[in-house]
């Protein structure tokens, strides 16, 4: 522009006019490309996180099932222990009521045998209970990790929605919100990967 009313229309002025008319200029194309690339990357990472969430949920169910099996096996062992205890009690009562020494000796042998068998059964039942507890713990860890993957996937989906809104409205603050949401989603995904 000059002082005599003559106007030179430069490239900068053209871009400003174009932006005011809704064209957005070259910067708008850069924004679109940037958001499109970011969205594609976040969608890919979100798909991986979604898969990991499903895998950890399946593992949690499998581990919980293993815990239930071990608990059932332990319960069976405790029932077996109880039956040996009952037999031992009957043998002790029979021993105490027996009048002949040879009957007392025979019943005492049964008492001793049942006591030995109960000790072995108790060791097995305790071992099965410990295994059930270990499977329960593993299941709980997998469920915690599943929740982290699900949280991360959800935040990344919000990030993608923000990207779409930013593209439609061309609002820079929505683009920044998209980047923040993406960073949060990735951070929560890292926490899931690290079992935090």
Confidence of residue 16 (pLDDT cuts 50, 70, 90): very low
> Helical H runs in the chain?
11-20, 25-97, 101-169, 172-193
SS3 sequence of 41-74: HHHHHHHHHHHHHHHHHHHHHHHHHHHHHHHHHH
pTM of the complete model: 0.71
172-185 pLDDT, tens digit per residue, is 999 999 999 999 99
Burial of 77 (0-12, 13-18, 19+ CB in 10 A): buried
39-80 pLDDT, tens digit per residue, is 999 999 999 999 999 999 999 999 999 999 999 999 999 999
């Amino acid at each position: 522009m000059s002082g005599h009313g003559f106007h030179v229309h430069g490239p900068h002025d053209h871009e400003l006019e174009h932006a005011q008319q809704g064209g957005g200029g070259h910067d708008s194309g850069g924004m679109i490309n940037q958001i499109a690339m970011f969205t594609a990357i976040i969608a890919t990472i979100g798909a991986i996180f979604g898969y990991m969430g499903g895998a950890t949920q399946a593992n949690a169910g499998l581990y919980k099932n293993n815990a239930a099996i071990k608990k059932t096996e332990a319960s069976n062992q405790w029932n077996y222990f109880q039956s040996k205890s009952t037999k031992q009690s009957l043998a002790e009562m029979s021993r105490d009521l027996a009048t002949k020494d040879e009957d007392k000796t025979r019943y005492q042998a049964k008492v001793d045998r049942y006591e030995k068998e109960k000790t072995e059964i108790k060791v097995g039942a305790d071992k099965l209970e410990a295994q059930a507890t270990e499977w329960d713990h593993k299941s709980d860890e997998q469920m915690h990790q599943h929740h982290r993957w699900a949280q991360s996937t959800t935040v990344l989906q919000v990030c993608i929605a923000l990207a779409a809104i930013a593209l439609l409205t061309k609002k820079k603050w929505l683009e920044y919100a998209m980047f923040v949401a993406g960073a949060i989603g990735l951070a929560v995904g890292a926490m899931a990967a690290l079992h935090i």
